[in-house]
Amino acid sequence: MIVLSPSILTADFGNLQEEVEKAVRGGCDWLHLDIMDGHFVPNITIGPMIVKALRRYAAIPFDVHLMVENPDGLLKLYADAGADIVTVHQEASGCRHLHRTIQHIKELGLKAGCAVNPGTPVELLEPVLMDLDMVLIMTVNPGFGGQSFIPSTLHKIARLRAMAEKWKPDLLIQVDGGINAATCESVIQAGANVLVVGSAIFDGVDPEGNVRKYKALLERRED
Ligand SMILES: O=C(CO)[C@@H](O)[C@H](O)COP(=O)(O)O
């Protein structure tokens, strides 16, 4: 099964409750929450209080992507806010002891993910692959929604899928950035099974209909 996790980054932030409710009504599997600190990436978004507030309007897994430096001290805040999956970045300062950070996420009762930027080789994650539930391959440089998919990331997805077959066959492989109707088939073919879709869903027009469209597209290819 391919999981659809809409990213609220391009949603109407003045109306987040309604935007989230629309995505949920459309039938999305998870909700992807982009947390940016203005240091790891040149943008600032939301914190645990907003995650907690949104939790009231969605009974689906919250997939929290921490684009922050020094995530360790924040993990409990996001666990308490209602996160189900927390993903940290391999490149973040404070992730030098990545294995320890992953254990910390798991001790909080959450699924653990690790993200890599387009310029980071996935091979760096091999030593911790069997400890991870999910690897997020960034298919754009993180920080902003609405960017174009970087084609060279396809090779990384395929290499990670091959590594996963050896070390962690049930690894979730998430892709994030520039995923839309034109790019989703190639990332799935390469081995991705969790799609983060931002601007192609939260387009300011019809998030609910867009979720339905993507779910139908994914279901058709499974038949
Ligand atoms: O984490 C990020 C960007 O840093 C993503 O979640 C994007 O926001 C996805 O948006 P689109 O590329 O699909 O518009």
What domains appear along the chain, each with residue ranges and CATH number?
3-222 (3.20.20.70)
For a mutational test of ligand 1's pocket, the pick from 35, 89, 140, 175, i.e. the residue with the most ligand atoms closer than 8 A to its C-beta, is: 140
Instruction: Please identify which residue in the block is written with the tokens 């203005």.
Output: 38
Question: Whole-angstrom Cα distance, residue 71 to residue 105?
Answer: 10
Q: Can you say how many angstroms the Cα of residue 68 is from the centroid of all Cα atoms in its chain? A: 14
Can you give the three-state secondary structure of 156-204, one letter per residue?
HHHHHHHHHHHHCCCCEEEEECCCCCCCHHHHHHHCCCEEEECCCCCCC
Centre a 10 Å sphere on the Cβ of residue 52 and count the other Cβ atoms it contains: 16
Model pTM? 0.98
Q: What is the pLDDT of residues 154-212, one digit of tens each?
A: 999 999 999 999 999 999 999 999 999 999 999 999 999 999 999 999 999 999 999 99
What is the C-alpha to C-alpha distance for residues 39 and 150, in angstroms, rounded to an integer? 23
pLDDT classification of 94: cutoffs 50, 70, 90: confident
Tell me which residue of 175, 176, 210, 174 sits closest to 19, measured CA to CA: 210
Q: Please tell me the predicted confidence (pLDDT) of residue 2.
A: 97
Quick one: pLDDT at residue 113? Answer: 98
Q: Which residues line ligand 1 (CB under 6 A)?
A: 7, 9-10, 32, 34, 65, 140, 142-147, 176-179, 196-200
Token pair recorded at residue 150: 């970087």
Residue 223 has pLDDT above 90, yes or no: no
pLDDT at 95 (0 to 100): 84
Of the candidates 37, 63, 133, 176, the residue annotated as catalytic is 176
Instruction: State the average pLDDT for the chain.
Output: 97
Contact 38, 67 (CB under 8 A): no
Residue 179 tokens, joined: 């995923």
Question: ipTM more than 0.95?
Answer: yes
pLDDT above 90: residue 87? yes
CA-nearest residue, atom 7 of ligand 1: 145
